Chain A
Amino acid sequence: MRPPRLARACLRRLLPASHRDLVLQDLDDEFARHIAPSRSRLGARWWYWRQAVGSWPHAFRLRHPRVAVADSRPAHRRQHLRAVVADARFAWRLYLGRPALTAAATATLAVGIAVTTAALSVVHAVLLRPLPYEEPGALVHVGEVNTDDTRGIHGPAGGNLSWPDFTDYRRAQRALVDLVGYSGGSRTLTTSAGTPDRVPMAEVTAGFFDLLGVRPQTGRLFTSDDNEPGAPPVVLLSDGAWRRRFGGDPAIVGGTIGVNGRPATVIGVLPASFAFPLRGQAELWLPIRPSSSQLERRYFHWLNVIGRLRPDVPIEAARADLDRIAAGFAAIDPTYHAATASAVLPLTDVIVGDVRPVLLLVLGAAALVLVVACANVAGLVVAERAARARELAVRGALGATRGRLVTQMLVESLVLSAPGLLLGLGAGAGLVSLVVASLPAARRAALPHLDSVTLHPVVVATIVVVSVGAALLVGLVPALRRPATGLATGLRVAGASRRGAQLSPSLVAAQVALSVVLLASAGVVGQSVWRLLAVSPGFEVDGLFTARANLGGARYATPEARLEFHRSLTTRLAALTGVSGVATISQLPLTGAGNSGTFLVESVPDAPERSTRIRSVSTNYFEVMGVPVLAGRGFSDRDVAGSPRVLVVNETFARMFFDGRPLDQRVAFPFFTDRPFWQIVGVVGDEQLRDLDMAPLPIAYFAYPQTPDGEFGLVVRTPGDPAALTGPARAVLAELDPALPLFSPQTLDEILSASLGVLRRRVVLTLLALFAVAAIVVSIVGLQGLVAQTVSERTREIAVRVSLGARPAQVVGSVLRRGLAPAAVGAVAGLALYLLVARALSGLVFDVSPVDPATLAAVVVVMVGVAALACVAPARRAATISPTEAIKGE
């Protein structure tokens, strides 16, 4: 990896020649040999930036060593300081006397700084702050992949491990300090206080918390004894659960709560700083006690695994080490582990890998708004300086040095930008909590530090440095130009304002260009959201209420009992007023791929294993959901326990495994004891299990009466408002069994909105649209100011032209040209710039090209149209100029 070029170049410029090579070579050496190999790409670059930026003031000291001239300094410095204070006072009074200018600059800067602060706060919290564990950089996530899996079903993080795989890795590996496993789900929690509730939980193997370096805030953590079968049941509480459900009562430690109807002892409370985003919402932490089938079946992949690298062991070595062990699985289990390899990734990548590009994109967009704001303020300052040209020239004539004048202007721009900076920081903090609060709780909990994101000192410092730098730059542009204007021209006001007017059109064009980039991005992402929502998930979304139920406890131990409960629950729900249909499915659509199973085909016994997603549905599921039956039949009431075992598959399954002709084929799944064959009797349309932007997966549907599981999702169809069914549904369940909670009640529409594919784009779209509007408003105000200034400067000239016979239309045309020229140049430059950066949107676009010509054309039309509107008022003013004003001007 190369050091960040900008940081290096800046430091290079600042360092004196005597130290330039020394410092840079040292820095590059350290970066290449120690920093880059041991940190993430972003972390390493962050390190370099901090070193470089932190060295700036010292580079200045190296240029101007103070030791030799120590004697004469203090007096000088005091004098200098006094002058600066005087400048600041002067500037303060100056800007108080020009409220319009001050308000415009403050508002503009505040907007730019607010959005940048908000974006940077999130980026800092999620991407830059280390995970809250001991040496988080050494933590890795361990998954498994099939090397012959060309479809990449599992993604880069790989799939789960089976218990035998896990124990084999753990025993034979040499690259890691240890490997630990975790799994998740939900449990019914009963407390002495209230009704039972279904809460998210996590189960962990012994040593899980030790590996992370987490210590409890009260009580103790698990020991390996707690994982033994038959050990007394124990539970750890998350800090949130402890405060919310038990009022933060320390006496709960040692007490008993009900977990799935059985008493368990609370042995401790995890610290408030602990968060595990991969099971972000877990309230209960339990020791894993694998079932006998989990212990024995190597093909049963259910365990998530993380590990810690030994010191000085690179991640590649760990990968090679685990691959060596995985290669041995082929001999033990040729059917399902013929081509197994490990997937070892830094834990951070698994947690924030997919949001990283999105967050950086948003930060980039926010920075563009800030640049637009700065350009706008620069325009204001240039105009203001032009108006004060005479004053500055007089001061120069009276003996103020060039350095003195430059200092004064820098102080002035600092004073002008200070209120905007403060306002912007405050508004940024508000904005970030607003954005975070708008995310669904589950998504918030899945990202590190997001729930506690505040104005971090590092963020504030960065923003202050950037803003002060920008203010100095803004002040410097006219300051450097101004003294260059000779004394004579400076004293002639007209000459001076021409120079100012030359700078402004390019500043306005730059603002328009960046606005176009933002607007085009928002347009393309907006198109994507629109097209994504138009994609059918394979069923009718409207009017569906969903919830989940779990039949825990001894009462539902037999299939007959579960079936009986399932029947009475669905019958009673169907009898509610306004309900037109009730069905169940083992995992609701759009909530994830869920359970999968490998299977063998009777007619091709020698074929390699195939894998499909599996669902267990009530026999009327397809009718209630509106999933079409394409061939054969759906389930019927005759498909019950004891009748022939039947299977319905989806279109993708039929195409993938049977060339579209699966009917009457028989397949066997090894997870059923005796491995019976199931006959495929029907093909239904594809139903989306994951996100709308993903390819459909193969699904095999079982009939619930033939596979009566303990947990299922309910779908209730109603022509009315589905959200209104929560109360009645809960009442029905409580009537049947008060110990069973109804959990995750939500409408299918809500599930859809919270799905990552939609949510990610919608959040980005909202932000980009906001940024684009802010940028456009700012640049249009700038444009209008420019045109108005031109009109007032050219009043005499226009009056002369009118008196010589120019028609109003000609006058208006000439003014419009003045305004539209920079807008048009900006729009074209913005398009070019957008084409350069459009690649950054590639992860967000759906079914539309990032350089969609129609969208880009619309963006240009909108931009030029808005620019034309901005010119209307000044143009009308120009049209009313009468010839007499030519004389008044003198």
Chain B
Amino acid sequence: MSRGDFLGEFEQIVLLAVARLDATAYGMEIRREIETRSGRAVTIGAVYATLDRLERKGLVQSRDDRSGGRARRFFTMTPSAADALEASRAIHARMWHGLRLRREGRRS
């Protein structure tokens, strides 16, 4: 991975949702997965825009399915996405390693 190609936080979340949903990942399913797991409201537009970018970066592949009368685009991760996610996790782990944050003025 070249310099400056960190995965954004939301990109990571979308990728993880795609991974979790396995073969059934399409836009609204991904949106709902993120909303229920993160508790954050997410718009469908944000999900598609991010998937589009991930596809341009070669991290997901899409397949259009027109069975059942409605167009749906299913997404799967590419092998390089797994690498990218692992790399992100490793970066996080290294950054956190041995670190303890002091939270002043906050009761835990």
Which chain A residues have a beta carbon within 8 Å of chain B's beta carbons? Answer: 11, 15, 19, 21-23, 25-27, 29-30, 34, 50-51, 54-59, 61-62, 65-68
Contacts and interface: CB of A to CB of B under 8 A. Distances in A.
A675 B32 CA distance: 63
B27 A22 contact: yes
A67 B45 contact: no
B44 interface: yes
A30 B28 contact: yes
A443 B56 CA distance: 58
A22 B43 contact: no
A21 B64 CA distance: 12
Contact of B71 (A22, A30, A61, A65): A22
B26 A54 contact: no
Nearest first, the 4 closest Cβ-Cβ pairs linking A and B are A55-B45, A58-B45, A54-B43, A58-B49
Contact of A26 (B28, B53, B56): B28
A61 B44 contact: no
A15 B46 CA distance: 12
Query: Interface SS of chain B: helix, strand, loop or mixed?
Result: helix
A32 to B, nearest CB: 11
B44 A26 contact: yes
A23 B57 contact: no
Given A22-B71, A23-B27, A26-B28, A65 B53 contact: yes
A326 to B, nearest CB: 38
B94 to A, nearest CB: 26
Given A59-B49, A61-B53, 19 more contacts: A19-B52, A22-B48, A26-B27, A26-B28, A26-B31, A27-B28, A30-B31, A30-B32, A34-B32, A51-B45, A54-B43, A56-B45, A59-B45, A62-B49, A65-B52, A65-B56, A66-B53, A67-B53, A67-B56
A21 B57 CA distance: 23
Contacts, number: 69
A58 B71 contact: no
A22 B28 CA distance: 10
B41 interface: yes
Interface residues of B, number: 20
A29 B31 CA distance: 13
A536 to B, nearest CB: 54
Given A55-B43, A56-B45, A22 B52 contact: no
Contacts of B57: 67
Contacts of A23: 27, 44-45, 48
B49 A54 contact: no
Contacts of B26: 26
Interface centre among B43, B45, B48, B49 (most CB of A within 10 A): B45
Interface string B23-52: 000111001100000000101111011001
B43 A50 contact: yes
Interface of B: 26-28, 31-32, 41, 43-46, 48-49, 52-53, 56-57, 70-73
Nearest to B50: A58
Contact of A51 (B43, B70, B73): B43
Given A25-B72, A50-B43, A67-B57, A61 B28 contact: no
A56 B53 CA distance: 16
14 contacts: A23-B27, A25-B70, A25-B72, A26-B27, A26-B31, A30-B31, A30-B44, A50-B41, A50-B43, A55-B46, A55-B48, A57-B45, A58-B48, A62-B49
Nearest to A24: B44
B71 A62 contact: no
B46 A58 contact: yes
B45 A54 contact: yes
B59 to A, nearest CB: 11
Contacts of A67: 53, 56-57
A553 B57 CA distance: 81
A68 B56 contact: yes
Contacts of A57: 45
Contacts of B45: 11, 15, 23, 51, 54-59, 62
A504 to B, nearest CB: 38
A37 to B, nearest CB: 15
A56 B49 CA distance: 11
Contacts of A58: 43, 45-46, 48-49
A28 to B, nearest CB: 9
A11 to B, nearest CB: 8
Interface centre among B41, B48, B52 (most CB of A within 10 A): B48
A677 to B, nearest CB: 66
Nearest to A61: B49
Contacts of A19: 48, 52
A36 to B, nearest CB: 14
Nearest to A55: B45
A23 B73 CA distance: 10
Contacts of B71: 21-22, 25
Contacts of A11: 45
A21 B41 CA distance: 22
B108 to A, nearest CB: 21
A880 B70 CA distance: 72
Contacts of B70: 25, 29
Nearest to B42: A54
A109 B82 CA distance: 53
A15 B48 CA distance: 11
Contacts of A26: 26-28, 31, 44, 72
A27 B44 contact: yes
A589 B12 CA distance: 67
Contacts of A59: 45, 49
A431 B19 CA distance: 51
B103 to A, nearest CB: 25
B1 to A, nearest CB: 14
A850 B31 CA distance: 46
Contacts of A62: 45, 48-49, 52
Nearest to A30: B28
Contacts of B53: 61, 65-67
Contacts of B46: 54-55, 58
B52 A51 contact: no
A824 to B, nearest CB: 45
A98 B73 CA distance: 55
B43 A29 contact: no
B74 to A, nearest CB: 11
B49 A22 contact: no
Given A19-B48, A22-B48, A55-B46, A29 B28 contact: yes
A308 B49 CA distance: 39
Nearest to A16: B52
A336 B75 CA distance: 63
B73 to A, nearest CB: 5
Nearest to B62: A22
A742 B6 CA distance: 74
Contacts of B41: 50
B69 to A, nearest CB: 10
B19 to A, nearest CB: 20
B51 to A, nearest CB: 9
A57 B43 CA distance: 11
Contacts of B56: 65, 67-68
A135 to B, nearest CB: 15
A721 to B, nearest CB: 57
B52 A55 contact: no
Contacts of B32: 30, 34
A68 to B, nearest CB: 7
B27 to A, nearest CB: 4
Interface centre among B28, B31, B32, B72 (most CB of A within 10 A): B28
B46 to A, nearest CB: 5
A172 B26 CA distance: 43
A127 to B, nearest CB: 19
Contacts of A29: 28, 70
B49 to A, nearest CB: 4
Interface centre among B27, B31, B32, B53 (most CB of A within 10 A): B27
Contacts of B48: 19, 22-23, 55, 58, 62
A50 B73 CA distance: 23
